[in-house]
Amino acid sequence: MKKTIVQPAIVCTVLLFSACAKKEVIAPEKLSAKSVTKNAVAASAVPARSEALLAMQCYNNAFYHQYGTYGPSYKAYYYSDITHSGRMDFWKQAEAIETIIDAYTINNDTDLRNKMVYLYNGMRDAYGLLWSSNSFNDDVIWGALMCIRAFQITNDGGMKDMAKNNFDMVWSRAWDTSLGGGLWWTTDKTTKNACVNAPAAICAMYLYQATGDAGYRDKAKMILDWMISKLYVSTGEVKGAINAAGTITEGTRTYTQGTFIGACDLLNSYYPSNNYSALALKVMDYTKNSMCNAQGLLPDEYDTEDCQGFKAIFARWACRFVHDQGLQASYATWLNYNATQAWAYRNSSGLMWGQWWHRTPDNYVNSFETTCGVAIMNGVWLF
C-alpha cells in the first residue's frame, strides 16, 4: 500500500481568504498515514479555508449542470458521475445540495449561494412541491432537511413551505405507536430506520426555529427519545433499523452516528435535563475509537453505492456538534486529520474519493462519494 502523499495539479482557480483561527496546511509529505497516529496529529494539520472553498469549486466543475431558466431564475442539478451519464438520485441530490450549503456557510461565496438556489429549483422542477409519490420516507426527509437549511440562508418562504409540507406528509403516514413510536422507513411499514428518524428530528427542530410552532420541537423530542429507547446502544452505537417484530436488522453506520449526534445537539439546549449531549459524546467516541482505522481515518463504506457518501453526513453534524458544544480539545485534531488526508489524496481535478489513504483515481469518481471530502474540509472550519 503506497503511503506517499501526492500533490497533483489542480485545474480550479484558487481564491484566497484569511485563515481565521486555523493555520495553513503543513507540508503534505510530513502527513503520511504511516507517520501519524490517532492520538498524535499536528493541530495545524488542516487545509486552509481557501482550499475548502476550492474543493467545493472543483466538485462543481466536475458535476454541476445548469440546464435552463426557472421563472426569473435558473435550474440545475448534479450529475451522478464524471461521465455525466445522468442526474444524481433524489436523496443523493439533496445531500449534495447540503454539501454546497455547508460550503456557503463557511465561505459566504455568492456563486455558491446562487448555485444552491438553482439546484433547489432543479429539485422543484424534477420532482414537484410535494413528494408523496416517493415511497421512501427517508428520501422525503432528506429533501425536506435540505430545503429548511436552504431557507436559513435565503429566507425564501417557498423553501420553508416545501420543508414543512413534506415533513408533515411523512409524519402523517409514517409515525405510529407500534414499537413504541418511530417513523417507518417506507410506506410498506416493514422497518423503522435511523436514516429517516434522526434527520427527521433535525428537520423538525429547524422547522420549529423557522415557524415558532412548538409542535415541531415536540415531534423532534418524540423521535429522538424513541431512537434512544430502540436504536441507541450504551456503547455509543446507533443501530440502523428495527423491524416490525422488534429485531435489530442493521448495524451502525457513519451517517446513523452523525445524524443522531446532530439531533442530540439541537435538542440539548431545549431539554438540558435529558442530557442529550452526553449521549452524543458517547456516539462521537464510539465513532472515533471503534469505527476508524489505527490512524483515525473514518471508514470506507463501499458495500452499496448508497453507502459511499455517508461520511459527508457524519462530518456535517459531528463538526457542528464540536462547534456548538465547545469540544475542540477533544475532537478537533481527529477531524482535522481526516480533512487533511482527504485533500492530500485528491486527484488532478481536485476530487476526493472515500479512501483517504491513497490517491483518488483520475478516471473514476462517483459524485455522491466525493461529497465526503468536501464536507469534512468545510466542516472543520466551523470550529
**Contact assessment for residue 149 and residue 101, using Cβ atoms and an 8 Å cutoff:** yes
Mean pLDDT of 88-102: 98
pTM of the predicted model as reported, rounded to 2 decimal places: 0.90
- Res. 49: pLDDT tops 50: yes
Domain chopping of the chain, boundaries: 51-331+364-382
More reliable by pLDDT, 26 or 104: 104
Confidence of residue 69 (pLDDT cuts 50, 70, 90): very high
Long-range pairs for 86-90: beta carbons < 8 A, 24 or more residues apart: 87/126, 88/63, 88/367, 88/368, 90/127, 90/131, 90/134, 90/139, 90/143
Residue 369 carries which DSSP code? T
Closest by CA to 8, choosing from 43, 48, 49, 58, is 58
- At position 72, the amino acid (one-letter code) is P
CA atoms 324, 317, 292, 232: torsion sign: positive
Instruction: Specify the pLDDT at position 12.
Output: 52
Where does the pLDDT of residue 204 fall: very low under 50, low under 70, confident under 90, or very high at 90 and above?
very high
As a whole number, the mean pLDDT across the chain is: 90
3-state DSSP helix/strand/coil percent for the chain, to nearest 5? 55, 10, 35
For 225-268, how does the pLDDT look when each residue is reduced to its tens digit (9 = 90+)?
Answer: 999 999 999 999 999 999 999 999 999 999 999 999 999 999 99
Q: Would you say 256 and 198 are in contact if contact means Cβ atoms under 8 Å apart?
A: yes
Q: In the structure, what pLDDT confidence band is assigned to residue 156 with cuts at 50, 70 and 90? A: very high
pLDDT category at 303 given cuts 50, 70, 90 is confident
Q: Which amino acid is at 54?
A: L
Residue 124 clears pLDDT 90, i.e. is over it: yes
What's the topology of domain 51-331+364-382? Answer: Glycosyltransferase (1.50.10)
- Tell how far CA 190 is from the center of its chain: 26
Q: How far apart are CA 329 and CA 338, in angstroms?
A: 16
Among 3-12, 102-111, 372-381, the least confident range: 3-12
Pick from 380, 279, 267, 276: which is nearest to 322 by CA? 380
Is pLDDT above 60 for 18? Answer: no
Name beta bridge partners: 243. Answer: 191
Q: Would you place residue 364 in the very low, low, confident or very high pLDDT band (cuts 50, 70, 90)?
A: confident
Cβ(8)–Cβ(347) below 8 Å: yes
Which helix (H) or strand (E) segment is 286 a member of? helix 276-286
Instruction: Classify burial at 152, counting beta carbons within 10 Å of its beta carbon; exposed 0-12, middle 13-18, buried 19 or more.
Output: middle
Q: Lowest mean pLDDT of 6-10, 180-184, 201-205, 315-319, name the range.
A: 6-10
